[in-house]
Amino acid sequence: MKRLVYYLVFSLIGIWGCKKVDPKEYNEKASEPQLLHTVSTELTDVMIHDIFKPTISSRIYAYSYLAAYETLRNEYPSYPTFAKKLNTFGEIPKPDTSKQYCYALASIKAFIYVGRTLTFSADLWDKFEEDFIKKYKNMGIPDDVYKRSVAYGEDVAKHVIKYSGSDFYKQTRGFRYTVVHEPGKWVPTPPTYADACEPRWNTLRNFTLDTCSQFMPPRPAKFDLNKKSEFYKLTTEVYEIGKHLTKEQKDIAFFWDDNAFVTNIIGHVTYANKKMSPAGHWIAITQTVAKDKKLSMIKSLEAYTLTSIALYDGFISAWDEKYRSLRIRPITVINDNIDPKWEPFLETPGFPEYVSGHSTISAAAGTILTHLLGDNVTFTDSTEYRFGHGVRTFKSFKEAYQQVSDSRVYGGIHYRDGVEAGMRQGEQVGEWVWKKLTKDEKVLTRK
């Protein structure tokens, strides 16, 4: 009798132990969009810690989101691959369709793998991943599915890393710009007189453009110190605004400063503040709106990926023009010819003025988000509150990127035509990215 009882007990245990885990249950947990938003924020925090330049930040975002998107889209047939749509980007590794995967987990793994590879602080990633991955351990994902999903995410990540290695980025490291000593040409500016930032950025392979000069802006106003010239009028506008800044103008300028490494000089003491880059600000806006609209993980990832690609191609377009026109910054002209004691409200970045890079990439990102989410999306941007930048509300993405352009004039670091041309260039880049990558009219109705 006892043997019969033992047999029945162990038989029941065996049945319970062999009970299949419902994939729908753990996939729903793993597809919680907040998990994606959390790793996105971590990538931004690591880049702030590592002090990446704005241009380089856009590159890291784009490859990281691309890897995550291409991994997750396997679960969503209506979301097309970007393979063969992006310049020289080949097909990604295929999963074994006869086996089960948790693609959400694989996607996060691909994102972390690329983010870790392209940044410096592996120790920060190690600590983050150790804690973060425990969340998946508690979702009931079977061990074989878990291991297979992680391995697949790594396979896709390695494919994207290999792709990134052929974009000519490594070949441009260490290149230094030689200053052209000609009237009206850019020279290093105070307070740090830094070398020119990324003078060969236009030689990198872009994602969607036919050429880096595809959307070349009109020629800037000719350098001319005659008080009736267009250039002198542009210069005096910056000077006069800078002398009579209102509180609102100062708030706007500071809100969109997005200087990754701000130099502060007080007497003989010099220190710096690390903050979010322009690309990071728009990635954060994307996150804010994704949360507001309760977008799914795949829809959020689509928004992140398209936005980051537009940011990257926008930087290449702007930098192509910057080192073509080599235009002098307002502080140099004003100090040399109008007022030697004048200082801009914001620290002048270390590269030529025309066009405004922030205006370009903001308009590119805003154009993508407008296409994806709508013309009149009201959102409150508090993503840089922790850096003391305050909180601002916008009725549309266009209102936001138009304010970006105004902020650069208020900050005393750009002329009016530089921001307007940059904004128009960014809109053209955004439109191009959208048409090149999303020819599906159903894109707005995807869940």
**All domains of the chain in start order, with CATH:** 22-164 (1.20.144), 197-445 (1.10.606.20)
Helices (H), 259-396: 278-292, 297-325, 330-337, 357-373
What band does 133 get if pLDDT is binned at 50, 70 and 90? confident
pTM for this structure? 0.93
pLDDT for the residue 387:
86
Number of other CB atoms surrounding residue 190 within 10 Å: 15
Question: If you average pLDDT over residues 264-279, what whole number do you get?
Answer: 64
pLDDT for the residue 25:
94
Percent of residues, the chain, with pLDDT higher than 70 = 90
CB 100 within 8 A of CB 79: no
pLDDT digits (tens, 9 = 90+) for 144-160: 999 999 999 999 999 99
pLDDT digits (tens, 9 = 90+) for 86-97: 999 999 999 999
With CA atoms as reference, report the closest residue to 363 among 321, 435, 422, 290.
Answer: 422
**Chain mean pLDDT for the chain:** 92
pLDDT digits (tens, 9 = 90+) for 163-173: 999 999 999 99
Residue 260 has pLDDT above 80, yes or no: no
Number of other CB atoms surrounding residue 267 within 10 Å: 5
What band does 4 get if pLDDT is binned at 50, 70 and 90? very low
Percent of residues, the chain, with pLDDT higher than 90 = 85
Question: If you average pLDDT over residues 353-365, what whole number do you get?
Answer: 98
Lowest mean pLDDT among 130-134, 229-233, 342-346: 130-134
Distance in angstroms (rounded) separating the CA atoms of residues 446 and 78: 8
Helices (H), 31-142: 33-50, 54-72, 103-118, 122-132, 134-137
Distance in angstroms (rounded) separating the CA atoms of residues 381 and 291: 12
Length reported for the chain: 447
Residue type, 312: Y
pLDDT for the residue 265:
52
pLDDT for the residue 386:
87
Cα four-point dihedral sign 85, 87, 88, 89: negative
